[in-house]
Amino acid sequence: MADRLSQGSASSRSSDGGLDLQQFHQTFFEEAAENLQSMEQLLLALDPAAVDDETLNAIFRVAHSIKGGAATFGFTAVATLAHEMETLLDRLRRHELSPTPPMVDVLLRGGDALWGLLSFQQGLTDEAPETGPLVAEIRKLASLDSASAQAAAAPAPAASAAPAPAPKPAGSRELEVRIGPLELPQTASHLHELFEEIPGIGEMKPLDFGEPVDGMRRFTVITNCTDNELLDLFSFHVDRKLVHLMESGPGFGFYDGNPGVPALEPEPAPAVMAAAAAAPAGSGGGAPAASSAAPAAPAAPAKGGGGNRAPAAPDAATLRVSVEKVDQLINLVGELVITQAMLIQGSRSLDPVVHQSLVSAINLMERNSRDLQDAVMSIRMIPMSAVFSRFPRMLRDLSGKLGKQVELVTHGEATELDKGLIEKITDPLTHLVRNSCDHGIELPQARVQAGKPAVGTITLSAWHQGGSVVIEVRDDGKGLSREKLISKALERGLQASDSMTDAQVWNLIFEPGFSTAEQVTDVSGRGVGMDVVKKNILGLGGRVDIESAPGCGMSVKVRLPLTLAIMDGMSVAVGDEVYILPLGSVVESDLIGPDRIRSLGNNNRVAKVREEYLPVVDLAGHFGVWRDEPAAQPIMVIVESEGSRAALIVDELIGQQQVVVKNLETHYKRIPHVSGATILGNGRVALILDIATLVQAR
């Protein structure tokens, strides 16, 4: 059947003006990815000891949606695997089988295999995963365990040319289902085969001898399903707008057996409405994947017969837009900010009295540009739950392989971060979580002997702090050992001694090739990973800090900027150069009075600020800026990062402004204590300072 569907799809791509199903492929892949992610979360939340019918129904809908879309597009391997998973899930939701951990495991592995098959269909991988053994395992778990169950699940016998009327099952009802009008004869001719595969729908047979009449296909169905359930099942295969349910029986327009002569069009029953307005249009033309939504817990079945109808679904609240369009929009907003800065720069020489209307218009444009920038930037902001949701499955598999018991706790899932940073931080966080499970959490016996609970805890947290996002990976394991780290460092020829501070010792794990594992396994021990983690985080303009206490666990904090696109900054002048200080790091500024700066040994200086001495960074000397003559009245700008402060010496405060952040490494190279660059209103380039490294360097 899938081969015939594939041929039909190919036919639709010919030059005869038919519908090109390939235009719906990307929508199917996107929705299938969302569905598989939802399936994994639902499976991980499934408690075999306390079965939740709504959860089982939601998982079943995912498998059925993927199967229907894959069959329509001719993805045979995907449809076959999803069908076997659907069969097992159908038996579970009907309570013919009880969920067991092996069933959950095999369904999770089935989801992984579907990911691989879909990636292969998209051309993202060169080889499709082998699913034969997995399909056999699912079939074995789904095999019927009793003769009575076999009889209950056996399909209804095929109807003969003149079938004898059979008694309806108790509580069932008879409906006429009309599909159409259909544009593709190939799709119409295979609808009965598709519908026959829907489990639990009841007895269904065509009324038009398998041929579409006036573009319509007509079936009769004897079922216990409600109208809403039938519409959901059929809309996996065709657009929901094309599905119409009619009461059947005497006077309702049955066909008389002549496939070429349609019956009179009946009036729909008062309580049964056409499904055209039941949901927004999907893919159209029989592409089910585009019209199916991400699975959710199904609505409770309506009581009584088919007369109960759900209200029409509201218009979609979200719109799927390609990342390229969003990036283009953000780039244009960035150019608008630069143009705005140029206008503001030029307007400073105008007389505000003479050019009052122009100055007012520029000020209004500045406010509107700020609102526009905030709105556009929010489009790319994604909650951290998109990253955190990846780890329950990973920890489940990893802890089982290591023989450990681990509980994952998350906080701050709603904290938002730029999409570009989300994508780049996922791999470093994955390694940190794996490291906590492998090296931090002890085996249950060791934890009990140490007076701890047998189940270890890994906590993922995220929160905003100033203009940054802080992500913490914390575990309650054994923590880091100073002695072991120093010993391993000396073995590798690294500079290490007992006089090192704890922070310096903890940072040894970021050295390339450094590992404390006793033996190499498929989980760790090769000394790769943590150095790459730090390199990637630094490349994003962030930093990583470690805290640890022996026997109590370890905490790794990753600090990242909210976005890499636009930021608020304070412009300062040093000689003829202009530098940008991130506004979130600026505490205050003040003139430098007599005796406020004192010299220490090693050419270091400190500034006295309200009975507190802060290290001084003279930006002119630090960056080698040439001055014809010293500034008449230097200014001291107090900046703060992670609880540490420093005093920056500058010549002039220019003012606060929005700046478009440009990656300096892409166009030039990485410069110490510089996080990026921007273009000023006069067209010059100004460097954006990395306050965290400046403060820590003193």
Helix 25-45, helix 101-121: angle, nearest 10: 160
491 pairs with which residues across the strands?
A: none
Dist CA 666 CA 676 (whole Å): 10
Confidence of residue 492 (pLDDT cuts 50, 70, 90): confident
C-alpha separations of 543 from 603, 641, 693 in Å: 27, 11, 9
Contact yes or no for 471/462 (Cβ under 8 A): yes
Residue 143: both structure tokens together: 């095999």
Chain segment 441-476, per-residue pLDDT in tens: 999 999 999 899 999 999 999 988 766 788 999 999
Instruction: Tell me phi and psi for residue 444, to 5 degrees.
Output: -55, -40
Q: Give the Cβ contact number of residue 196 at 10 Å.
A: 14
* pLDDT in the model for residue 193: 63
Query: What is the Cα–Cα distance from 92 to 99, expressed in whole angstroms?
Result: 7
Can you tell me the distance from the alpha carbon of 39 to that of 101, in angstroms, rounded to the nearest whole number?
16
Listed ranges 186-190, 234-238, 392-396, 657-661; the one with the highest mean pLDDT: 392-396
Q: How far apart are CA 554 and CA 482, in angstroms?
A: 13
pLDDT the model gives residue 213: 59
Q: What one-letter code names the amino acid at 155?
A: P
Q: How crowded is the C-beta side of 494, counted as CA atoms within 13 Å?
A: 21
Cite the beta strand spans of 88-133 per DSSP E: none
Considering 72-86, 208-222, 450-464, the range whose residues carry the highest mean pLDDT is: 450-464
pLDDT at 251 over 70: no
Average pLDDT for the chain: 74
Least Cα distance to 516 among 555, 560, 547, 478 occurs for 478
Per-residue pLDDT averaged across 168-180, rounded?
69
* Mean pLDDT score, 80-84: 87
pTM of this prediction exceeds 0.95? no
Identify the pLDDT of residue 274.
34
pLDDT tens per residue, range 601-636: 777 888 888 878 888 888 888 888 887 777 778 889
Residue 562 backbone dihedrals phi, psi, to 5 degrees:
-60, -40
Say whether pLDDT at 258 is over 50: no
